Amino acid sequence: MRILHIIPTVDPQGGGPMEGVRQRGLRLQEMGHRVELVTLDDPAAPSVAAYGLPVHALGPTPGRYGYNARLVPWLLAQAGGYDAFVVNGLWQYHSFAAWRALTRLQRPYHVFTHGMLDPWFKRAYPLKHLKKWLYWPWADYRVLRDAAAVLFTSQEERSLARQSFWLYRARERVVAYGTAAPPQDAERLRAAFLAAHPALRGRRLVLFLGRVHEKKGCELLLRAFAQVAAAEPALHLVMAGPDADGLAARLQALAAAAGLADRVSWPGMLQGDMKWGAFHASEVFALPSHQENFGIAVAEALGCGLPVLVSDKVNIWREIQADGAGIVGPDTLAGTHQSLQGWLALTPAQRQQFSGRAMASFRRRFSVDAMALTLLEVLQGTPPPGTALTMGATP
């Protein structure tokens, strides 16, 4: 099968969906299928050449919406060479362009919303939500309505998606999601990370790894850390990830005001051995997010045997809680503090048990094999358009 992913960018700073598409695509290629991408990226962008799968980059594309007049003609001309089409994400031109081209050709397509219909965005950004309402009826509503299937990575995401827009029609499917098994040469990776960050040797590391963004609960984590830092002198917070919106500077000022500037590190975006070394050098991973569709970094942490502290707005929190692979709390300061305090109260033996359960949870639920096989199942067997439309609730 020849599969085309339609996605705005392959830049890893765009977040977990780019990595999920890559990992699934690599595994499908190993299984004998061909996976390609068409994007709005500049073909000269380093991330295009480094992605590891064939990328048809039609950029450069200006603006956040990503309007690119080349995309629809490209799809109309090239669609005959593909067996299946997967649209990744909403609210940018690529999804509407895919609908325009593929419905004209009467070719079925599938859509991953990647959490972009979560009602949290409606509450957090009401003005942006109003702008989306103006766009929704003539664009992404149609994209979902006419898709052969709209794909969700958890039952939680599926349920939440129905709450954002009352004009909602979709043929819903839940598919497995995850990532490739992390490298397991933990000692080498840990040593490499600590060699690059020698001030962290001998510290008990709490790791955040992701975009430094309001929705990730970064400020909650920093403030909760400040509440326990005095009682745990060896505890150190690592805030690793790209900062596109300038939030890191404000958080650094908060850390300095709390007298914790030397106990919080900001290494920026970590990739390759540095990323895996950070996981293996830490004793717990924290993501008190206000909204998280899946959290590739959560799965990666579990794959390294690293227990997780997550909020109940990370959509796989039920699975983590059921597996005893971490501690779950509300996405509030009190909830984040309680989770962190609960972790610190454990004995070394209890922390080791959490680590074993984290690894088991990854193998059972979040492997790339399951992710590839369930997508393939959907692409080969989804009923044709016109059946089993699910409607959203009316306001």
> What mean pLDDT value characterizes the chain?
92
| pLDDT confidence bin for 180, thresholds 50/70/90 | confident
Average pLDDT over residues 173-189: 89
pLDDT for the residue numbered 367: 83
CATH homologous superfamily for the domain 186-366? Glycogen Phosphorylase B; (3.40.50.2000)
Residue 202 pLDDT exceeds 50: yes
Average pLDDT over residues 14-26: 84
pLDDT for the residue numbered 392: 55
| pLDDT confidence bin for 352, thresholds 50/70/90 | very high
Poorest-pLDDT segment among 37-41, 63-67, 128-132:
128-132
**Domains 2-179+369-388 and 186-366 belong to one CATH topology:** yes
Poorest-pLDDT segment among 33-37, 52-56, 157-161, 345-349:
157-161
pLDDT for the residue numbered 15: 67
| pLDDT confidence bin for 388, thresholds 50/70/90 | low
pLDDT for the residue numbered 364: 86
Residue 386 pLDDT exceeds 50: no
| pLDDT confidence bin for 390, thresholds 50/70/90 | low
Q: Which CATH architecture has domain 2-179+369-388?
A: 3-Layer(aba) Sandwich (3.40)
pLDDT for the residue numbered 18: 83
How far is the first Cα of the chain from the last one, in angstroms, to the nearest whole number? 42
Q: What is the pLDDT of residues 283-324, one digit of tens each?
A: 999 999 998 888 889 999 999 999 999 999 998 999 999 999
pLDDT for the residue numbered 77: 98
Residue 193 pLDDT exceeds 90: yes
Average pLDDT over residues 102-113: 97
Locate the domains of the chain by residue range: 2-179+369-388, 186-366
pLDDT above 70: percentage of residues in the chain: 96
Residue 125 pLDDT exceeds 70: yes
| pLDDT confidence bin for 118, thresholds 50/70/90 | confident
| pLDDT confidence bin for 393, thresholds 50/70/90 | very low
pLDDT for the residue numbered 389: 61
pLDDT for the residue numbered 385: 47
Average pLDDT over residues 229-238: 96
Closest by Cα among 287, 346, 275 to 316 = 287
| pTM for this entry | 0.77
pLDDT for the residue numbered 100: 98
Residue 387 pLDDT exceeds 90: no
Residue 140 pLDDT exceeds 90: yes
